[in-house]
Structure 1
Amino acid sequence: MSEFNAPDPTVSRDELCSEYLDLLPFEPYPVQEEALLAWFSTKTGVLVCAPTGTGKTLIAEAAIYEALRTGTTTYYTTPLIALTDQKFRELQEKAALWGFDPNDVGLVTGNRSVNPNAKVLVVVAEILLNRLLHTEAFDFKDVSSVVMDEFHNFADRERGIVWELSLTLLPKHIRLMLLSATVGNTAEFLNWLTLSHGRRLQLVQSFERKVPLRYEWVEDQLLSEQLELMTDGDEADRKTPALVFCFNREQCWSVAEHLKGKHLVDKPTRERLNQELEKHDFSHGAGPKIKQILLRGVGVHHAGVLPSFRRIVEDLFQQKLLSVCVCTETLAAGINLPARSVVLTELLKGPPKKKKLMEASGAHQMFGRAGRPQFDTQGYVFALAHEDDVKISRWKVKYDQIPEDTKDPLLIKAKKKMKKKAPTRRSTFQYWSEAQFETLQTSPPGKLYSNGPLPWRLLAYLLTISPDVSRIREFIALRLMEPKQRELAEKELTQMLISLEIGEYVKLDPPPPKPKTEEEKQEEEPAKKPQGTFGALLMEAREDAGTGEAKQKKKKTEDVPEREIYAPQYAHPQSKMHQLLKFRSVNPLYGVFLTEVLAQAEPEERIQAFESVLEMPGSVARNVRVPYPEVMPPGNLAREFLDQEVIRRGLAAHDELYPSRDDDIPFEERRWPIPFADKLRMLFHSDFPRVRDFRITPVWCAGDFLTFNADFNKYVSGRDLVKQEGIIFKHLLRLILLLEEFEQVTPPGLTDGEWKDQLREMGETLTRGCRDIDPTSTNEMLESAHLRQEMII
């Protein structure tokens, strides 16, 4: 392939197609061939919808090859940093295989940057959008194509708008390749894309997998027994490697620890495993526990595991040294761990007593992880009944072995005895069924719709470019939504603009109507009808009696025009507006609010305020509660201002802020003090009643960590947080980045130097503690801070 080392911008599309097909080591599947021919023949691009495991990566690589061959630039976007890192490595290997320099492939994720000026850039979706928003810094003239992998994330409520805005802003000369799992409204989506954005893409769609799936409901085996059965036999007969999906981290640990007593790999594999594990340090935190589990051929992969240990699990699984990886469902939408089988330990999700059947789209993602095209001719999806149902099933088999019409006195006695000891389901527990499993298999794929609100930071940025609100309304009007949803989105925009004016970030034109006084509200209230069923009926009868008066009144009401809905035409940025652009990890309005009140706060109060915006999972948050006031007394800000203001505004009474603590009261009936962070939230909502799109989780994690002299191992061990150390580690890293954001906005009454010195001292201590436990992840995260500050989303 050395003749292709030099880019040739004159090569034709037909030649590119022929060259790429010749490079393939095997015949492409029908859907791959159709997609490749469509890509090299269409002028605008393609939408490829096919099940997971259909080999869409091979299709995407055609766009990469074309860019390298012609010397143009292409972007390859993914929704997750872990997936982006994996694709970057794969594409570098491909470039070398094709005879190009691996450094022609670059990576930009917000966490790190490698070869950022390369012709092929593998990026998270937000990077592409931010470059499209910064046209003065990034030139797209030489960009020939954009590949958007996992495009079904377009419908994601939290981040879908990233894909949507990117489609809106991409220059028309750029060809698109959208790769998605199967979706239920491809025709509607493509029609919307044509009418709203002038892009006509060719559809390539398939519902068939190269490796077919076999679904099995397992009602008579416990999980450990099922996995041992799956590992029996030779390579052809085994159903492993397998991904075992659990819906919470604690269940992952429970399953993995139960399996460590089983022999799920053969002796040669165990010897290789032992050799690989000796290369790593498992002496700290959950390391000893993880090592013992790995030695049995079992991996654990979820957010509670440190990144360094997760990388080891990924590497070992890809080397086929692990038979099982116990994981949460986030892995299904993230990094690719090739497996022959998928095992679902449960089909219901949600809080206790309120669980519901998992969404079909999530189930299809998990199902799709089964079956490796390069190794398997069949993929397997096993769904296990609850262990109570397994016991009932086993009991029924034994019970039915004794005929109902037996005349043997001993058998009759034994059957009666068995009947008395029959296992039953628990009345307080929710169970799943084979019928529900079948429902998930046959459910139609999800649809692509615009979802989620306009981010505050993006709104602020767009208004700094132009105060003309009509441009933003035009974008909302073009969103792929039902009419009612679009109407709600337009109203939500108006509410956001009013909140910005309340905070003196913009000046609206025309100004919003003044709120009505209590007297005006009372004057507008209609006369009350008589209460009670009979009185209401009597009133209606009198109104309708003979004269038709009620109908006339109704007609008059219909003739009256509706009250004009307020919709500002312009939102002129004020001097404070730039402050909103400094915050990415927190709602910008709340971020500025915190800086305005934290000047007189003590260090412990500041830590509580900062930590509370990072949304720690509830399963971990309950273990890092804010201490009682008698253990950690209220600080200066709470005593001198916050408590008084909360009481003055009627947001809470004193006995709600500091209820008496009586150890004789049952735990579930005790009244808990309102945490400092919740008091801040209450005050903010009093000032900005329309802003409710963020959460507060009061915790005392980083503050407690600092009392252990920033020794991570001592902290997680001393507070029994070893199984959740990955969550704690990520929380600390996010706090470090958050502190860097807050450095940029100085509270009133403090100098820039005073504020920055205080935050930097805290950040440096946290950084030291994180580097001690995982220097690679810490350094990558810190490097991202400089990239992130230039990002709008």
Structure 2
Amino acid sequence: MTTPATDSTLSALLPDLDEVPESLVDDAVLESFLAWARDRGLSLYPAQEEASVALASGDNVILATPTGSGKSLVATAAHFIALAHGQRTFYTAPIKALVSEKFFSLCEIFGPAHVGMMTGDATVNGNAPVICATAEVVANIALRDGAAADIDQVVMDEFHYYSEPDRGWAWQVPLLSLPRAQFLLMSATLGDTAWLEEDLTRRTGRATTPVTGTVRPVPLDFDFVYSPVHETLQELVDAGKAPVYIVHFSQRDAVERAQALTSMTFVDKERKAEIASAIGNFRFTSAFGKTLSGLLRKGIGIHHAGMLPKYRRLVEKLAQQGLLSVISGTDTLGVGINVPIRTVLMTGLAKYDGIKHRILKSREFHQIAGRAGRAGYDTEGTVVVEAPEHEIENYRLRERAGSDPKKLKKLRKKSAPEGRATWTKSTFDRLTTAEPEELVSQFQMSHSMLINVVARDEWTYTALKGLLRDNHDTRTKQNRDILTTIDLYRGLLRTEIVEEFEADTPSGKDARLTRELQRDFALNQPLSPFALAAFDLLDPESDTYTLDVISTVEAILDNPNQVLTAQQRERRGQEIAALKAEGVDYTERMAIVEDITWPKPLEEELEQAYDIFCESNPWAAEFDLAPKSVVRDMIEKAMTFSDLVATYSLARSEGVVLRYLTDAWRTLSHTVPPEHRSDELEDIIVWLGELIRQVDSSLVDEWSAMADPDKPVTEEQVAEHAFGVDDPTKLSSNPRALRRMVKNYFFRHVELFAFEKEKELAAMDDYLADPPDWPGAMDAYFDEYADIGVDAGARSPDMVIITEEPQQWRVRQILDDPDGDHGWAFEGVVDLDGSDEAGEVRLSELRVVQG
């Protein structure tokens, strides 16, 4: 059991139970929580109080109340009660953004010293008594430690994810493997939970209390309309039903909708001034940031997972302050993100789920619709659903025809688009009244799960039997899983990852791992062991050795699909243009480019090594090797973050790009051993870390991963990152990273000059008062030489000279002409103050020199 915290802030918050009779302890703890709530002006709803009383009594609680009924406050009560008893409590959620949001919220309540976070790829204050974590983290702890896990309470938010095919196992495993823990399971859409109540009580020995109030504190009004979105929105705003969240099922649609609304007026001069004041000195550093800045100042927000975290958090902050009239976003609204709104306007009732285009499930519909109505502000929430576009057009045709039978008969109605699911008023009526689908077990056994179980101290057979024969599946499914597990186990024995030994067990044998598990096994880049093995196959004498190390690391990272698709599109476009210039006909061109994909350095070599690795490490086959070149592409083409986004038109996916670069930086930092680190690689790691920090200093995984994972964050860090402040360390304070950025910046000019890309060069230097005459310089150079080197020799240290002075750096980038004369160069002066302000290299002057 964790020792109760003694910090003065927490001591003032929690009750002193030393003098309280044991029979009154539960009441004293509950009364202390209620007093804390009253001090903050919070009055508990009956369902909240019922759940809190049950938690204080030691019961499990299944909280299935409607969205907007204050489940977060019940979660806080659970943590409060656990801390009062000196216990360790975990909050789990399905997405990292929600985990991060809860981390900051609980830091405010309990103090940063007592709150930690684990997301699988970053840990903050990992020994804290309150931990915010993704569900997979808790599931893997439960698999590895079983009943001995240092977890006394688990609060599982968005518990309907139990039914998700790919991830549902992570919501079930803690229920199966943590018999000492008290559970609080929360969701507005659980369906019938009688079986779950009985199961929880049997496993934990605790009573399980269902709290299922069906009355929303803020009732909802539903409407189905046949008017276009902009007309519907105007009516809602005019009727005083803003703020409105417009739900789309793709990020592209959400952004395009927001931009289409700029002709409408949503805020007056006073509100514009309030918005400008709230934004303050926030840095809109990227291409999309400039778009977002303009929209926000018109009272229009955008919210989707592809945005930079700092932008998404700023939108949430402005929404929480009531400054935005409209937010155009995606259906991620349904996953508990804190965007308080009055009206949900759904652009449809069908979505593409990655496999097919289908009608929303009842659970999905109610998760989204339930976000309407702000407790304490609204007496009613509004949910409006748009009819399909073809139905809106048909409705307008019928209106124009009136009641004239002849006109009605002649109507040429629009048909629904082929191959896409469509909906009607009947679909809407059904969804508004339908109960959520029943929870469905998604338990499955994998190599990584099996390895975690074998790592336990208890007898392996008993541990496996408990998981496989006492889970929530049918007997038939359990039998199949048992056979699968036997095959997996035999494979681990054959490859000597697991060994059997004599033991005092009914069979006379037990099993153990032959090697120690890494701290975050099966969470943080599970193929890291493969990368370590593959590094030994690379040639340290090769000119591309450092880039090959990077490519090996990139091959074990998750694919940033938007980036790869854009790279593929770019390569195909270039090839099509070349083939067209050669006179190849259209059909043949299309057939040729069909095989072109994104760049995959070392693909053949890595795939061969991976096949061999899987023979002795069968668990690795559960994961996909994915060769790609994003960081390598940036290095080879000397691109900044802005260059990468602009080159591949990724403004709508900046968050995806940054998340990938962060994963790459972290994995390079933590995975590549000293013997494979060149000075160049060390420079690249420093550069990449600084690039990430300058793009978005609010990315909690980025700043936390640089520190001791067991060390608490400070009050200052919480204040900086929780409220959207964007004030990274000055770029000039990291001269090693800046030096690399300066080299990249000048070599980027060399690359563009070599390929005669005048427009791109002009765009890079558009901030200069006196930019070079690039067309004239190109004409002069190419009159003298046929080409310019852009290979490893051209980017060698001898080709760039940096003279560092206190307020400015002078740079001479020599061009690698084919004759080796080296008379041409780019000379410039780095403006350190301007670079600090921009977060990227900025020059005060730049010129092309000859001789």
Aligned to 2:793: none
- 1:113 Cα shift? 6.3
1:312 alignment partner, one of 300, 311, 314: 314
1:648-663 equivalent positions in 2, closer than 5 A: none
Residue type matched to 2:687 in 1?
T
Q: Does 1:8 align with 2:17?
A: yes
- 1:78 Cα shift? 3.5
Aligned to 2:217: 210
Matches of 2:513 and 2:551 in 1, distance apart?
A: 31
Matches of 2:45 and 2:198 in 1, distance apart?
A: 27
1:625 alignment partner, one of 522, 546, 568: 568
Residue type matched to 1:259 in 2?
L
> 1:240, 1:339 within 8 Å by CA — same for their partners in 2?
yes
Aligned with 2:405: secondary structure?
A: coil
Matches of 2:348 and 2:697 in 1, distance apart?
A: 36
Identity %, equivalent residues: 26
1:712 alignment partner, one of 633, 641, 650: 641
> 1:260, 1:292 within 8 Å by CA — same for their partners in 2?
no
Matches of 2:536 and 2:608 in 1, distance apart?
A: 15
Aligned to 1:358: 360
Query: Which region of structure 1 is more displaced relative to structure 2, 715-724 or 601-610?
Result: 601-610
> 1:495, 1:690 within 8 Å by CA — same for their partners in 2?
no
The unaligned stretches of length 5 or more in structure 1 are 96-101, 406-414, 511-566, 633-660, 745-751
- 1:571 Cα shift? 5.2
> 2:697, 2:703 within 8 Å by CA — same for their partners in 1?
no
Residue type matched to 1:201 in 2?
T
Aligned to 1:186: 193
Q: Against the structure 1 CA distance between its residues 119 and 669, is the aligned structure 2 distance closer, same or farther, given a 3 Å change threshold?
A: closer
> 2:347, 2:386 within 8 Å by CA — same for their partners in 1?
yes
> 1:508, 1:568 within 8 Å by CA — same for their partners in 2?
no
Residue type matched to 1:715 in 2?
L
Matches of 1:775 and 1:205 in 2, distance apart?
A: 41
- Residues 380-438 of structure 1: per-residue CA shift (max 9 Å, x gap): 1111123232122111110125x226xxxxxxxxx49x947655544465432222223
TM-score, scaled relative to structure 2: 0.69
Aligned with 2:644: secondary structure?
A: helix
Aligned to 1:109: 118
> 2:92, 2:132 within 8 Å by CA — same for their partners in 1?
yes
- Residues 50-70 of structure 1: per-residue CA shift (max 9 Å, x gap): 121111223233334435555
Q: Does 1:753 align with 2:675?
A: yes
Residue type matched to 2:230 in 1?
S
Matches of 1:578 and 1:337 in 2, distance apart?
A: 38
Matches of 2:678 and 2:517 in 1, distance apart?
A: 21
- Residues 619-673 of structure 1: per-residue CA shift (max 9 Å, x gap): 44210239879999xxxxxxxxxxxxxxxxxxxxxxxxxxxx9875152675415
Residue type matched to 1:34 in 2?
E
Matches of 1:266 and 1:393 in 2, distance apart?
A: 34
The number of equivalent residue pairs is 672
- 1:779 Cα shift? 6.8
- 1:176 Cα shift? 3.1
> 2:144, 2:452 within 8 Å by CA — same for their partners in 1?
no
- 1:445 Cα shift? 1.8
Matches of 1:256 and 1:359 in 2, distance apart?
A: 26
- 1:493 Cα shift? 2.1
- 1:783 Cα shift? 1.4
Matches of 2:538 and 2:488 in 1, distance apart?
A: 24
Aligned to 1:730: 659
- Residues 109-164 of structure 1: per-residue CA shift (max 9 Å, x gap): 3476666665544444455556667879x984xx7644333333333444444443
The unaligned stretches of length 5 or more in structure 2 are 1-8, 576-583, 712-851
Which structure has more relative contact order (CA 8 Å, sep 6+)? It is 1
1:584 alignment partner, one of 524, 533, 550: 524
> 1:580, 1:589 within 8 Å by CA — same for their partners in 2?
no
Q: Does 1:701 align with 2:630?
A: yes
> 2:607, 2:625 within 8 Å by CA — same for their partners in 1?
yes
Aligned with 2:698: secondary structure?
A: helix
Query: Which region of structure 1 is more displaced relative to structure 2, 364-373 or 669-678?
Result: 669-678
Aligned with 1:244: secondary structure?
A: strand
Aligned to 1:532: none
Q: Against the structure 1 CA distance between its residues 611 and 116, is the aligned structure 2 distance closer, same or farther, given a 3 Å change threshold?
A: closer
- 1:212 Cα shift? 1.6
- Residues 458-480 of structure 1: per-residue CA shift (max 9 Å, x gap): 43343244683552243122211
Q: Does 1:672 align with 2:595?
A: yes
Matches of 1:591 and 1:568 in 2, distance apart?
A: 38
Q: Against the structure 1 CA distance between its residues 502 and 676, is the aligned structure 2 distance closer, same or farther, given a 3 Å change threshold?
A: farther
Matches of 2:183 and 2:421 in 1, distance apart?
A: 45
Aligned with 1:665: secondary structure?
A: helix
> 1:612, 1:677 within 8 Å by CA — same for their partners in 2?
no
2:232 alignment partner, one of 204, 226, 237: 226
- 1:774 Cα shift? 1.7
- 1:442 Cα shift? 3.1
Residue type matched to 1:476 in 2?
L
2:471 alignment partner, one of 475, 479, 502: 479
- Residues 56-97 of structure 1: per-residue CA shift (max 9 Å, x gap): 2232333344355556554444343332343344445555xx
Q: Against the structure 1 CA distance between its residues 397 and 765, is the aligned structure 2 distance closer, same or farther, given a 3 Å change threshold?
A: same
2:159 alignment partner, one of 151, 164, 169: 151
Residue type matched to 2:50 in 1?
E
> 1:370, 1:379 within 8 Å by CA — same for their partners in 2?
yes
Matches of 1:375 and 1:580 in 2, distance apart?
A: 43
> 2:126, 2:709 within 8 Å by CA — same for their partners in 1?
no
> 2:243, 2:343 within 8 Å by CA — same for their partners in 1?
yes
Residue type matched to 2:193 in 1?
T
1:616 alignment partner, one of 527, 535, 559: 559
Matches of 1:104 and 1:690 in 2, distance apart?
A: 37
1:70-89 equivalent positions in 2, closer than 5 A: 73-89=88-104
Residue type matched to 2:78 in 1?
A
Residue type matched to 1:622 in 2?
T
> 2:357, 2:421 within 8 Å by CA — same for their partners in 1?
yes
1:254-273 equivalent positions in 2, closer than 5 A: 254-273=256-275
